[in-house]
């Protein structure tokens, strides 16, 4: 895939074909679509609706219900900062506010060059090494402070 933000019809068809016979195939399909295109493109929703014999409204209802699914592509990297109680108790809200201010972003915003989107997350299960965050839904970091977090954000913007 040359450009992961771009929709690709064949890739969509492959993903649908890989799951369509599973019971409750819609969520697994949506997860794979988002992994491939960094969002759920409208064209993909149309194809899924057809394949699963559902209306487009039904697909859209599911996409909009779950916080994970996005209808617009995120930046190249997504940094999710835990804002739940355990991280709150260790200053997670202040830490996030400082980073957002530094980057000039609101929650959900993406830096100008399109490199980094910052979002809240409500618990990563890293509650005894708080405050915690996760980069690109994979790299976990704990015991964060302002310096570590700023370095992580900078690294992601450069990558």
Partner 1 sequence: MSGAIEVFVPRDAAALAVGAEEVARAIAAEAARRNLPVKLVRTGSRGLFWLEPLVEVATARGRVGYGPASAADVPGLFDAGFLDGKAHALHLGPVEKIPYLARQTRLTFARCGIVDPLSLDAYRAQGGLKGLERALKLGPAETVEEVIRSGLRGRGGAGFPTGIKWKTVREAAGAPKYVVCNADEGDSGTFADRMIMEGDPFCLIEGMAIAAIATGANQGFVYIRSEYPHAIRTMTEALRLARAAGILGRNIAGSGHDFDIEVRSGAGAYVCGEETSMLDSIEGKRGLVRAKPPLPAHHGLFGKPTVINNLISLASVPVILAEGAKAYADFGMGRSRGTMPIQLAGNVKFGGVFEAAFGLTLGEIVDDIGGGTASGRPVRAVQAGGPLGAYFPRALFDTPYDYEAFAQRDGLIGHGGLVVFDDTVDMAHQARFAMKFCAFESCGKCTPCRVGSTRGMEVIDRIVKGERREENMTLLKDLCQTLKFGSLCALGGFTPYPVMSALNHFPEDFRRAPSGLAAE
Q: Which is nearer to partner 1, 25 or 105 (CB)?
A: 25
Total residues binding partner 1 (CB under 8 A): 41
Site membership for partner 1, residue 114 (CB under 8 A): no
Q: Which is nearer to partner 1, 104 or 125 (CB)?
A: 125
Site membership for partner 1, residue 88 (CB under 8 A): yes
Q: Find residue 97's DSSP bridge partners.
A: none
Out of 12, 111, 117, 132, point to the residue binding partner 1 (CB under 8 A): 132
Of 71-79, 109-117, 131-139, 151-159, which segment contacts partner 1 by CB under 8 A? 131-139
d(C-alpha 49, C-alpha 64), whole Å: 15
Q: Which backbone phi and psi does 120 adopt, to 5 degrees?
A: -85, 155
Q: Which residues lie closer than 8 Å to 106 by C-beta, 6 or more apart?
A: 100
The DSSP symbol for 127 reads T
**Cβ proximity of 119 and 107 under 8 Å:** yes
Q: How far is CA 53 from the centre of its chain?
A: 27
Out of 14, 43, 50, 137, point to the residue binding partner 1 (CB under 8 A): 137
Site membership for partner 1, residue 151 (CB under 8 A): no
**Cβ proximity of 56 and 48 under 8 Å:** no
**Number of Cβ atoms within 10 Å of the Cβ of 45:** 22
Out of 13, 46, 123, 159, point to the residue binding partner 1 (CB under 8 A): 123
Out of 26, 47, 152, 153, point to the residue binding partner 1 (CB under 8 A): 26
Please give the residue ranges that form the binding site for partner 1 (CB under 8 A): 23-28, 30-31, 52, 61-62, 65-69, 84-90, 121-130, 132, 134, 137-138, 140-143
């Amino acid at each position: 895939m040359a450009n992961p933000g771009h929709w690709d019809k064949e890739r969509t068809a492959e993903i649908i074909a890989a799951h369509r016979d599973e019971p409750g195939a819609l969520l697994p399909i949506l997860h794979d679509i988002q992994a491939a295109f960094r969002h759920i493109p409208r064209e993909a929703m149309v194809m899924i609706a057809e394949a699963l014999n559902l209306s487009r409204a039904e697909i859209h209802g599911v996409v909009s219900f779950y916080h994970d699914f996005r209808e617009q592509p995120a930046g190249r990297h997504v940094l999710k900062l835990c804002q739940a109680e355990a991280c709150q108790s260790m200053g997670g809200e202040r830490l996030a506010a400082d980073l957002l201010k530094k980057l000039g972003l609101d929650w959900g915003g993406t830096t100008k060059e399109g490199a980094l989107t910052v979002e809240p997350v409500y618990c990563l299960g890293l509650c005894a090494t708080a405050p915690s965050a996760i980069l690109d839904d994979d790299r976990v970091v704990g015991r964060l402070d302002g310096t570590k977090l700023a370095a992580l954000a900078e690294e992601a913007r450069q990558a």
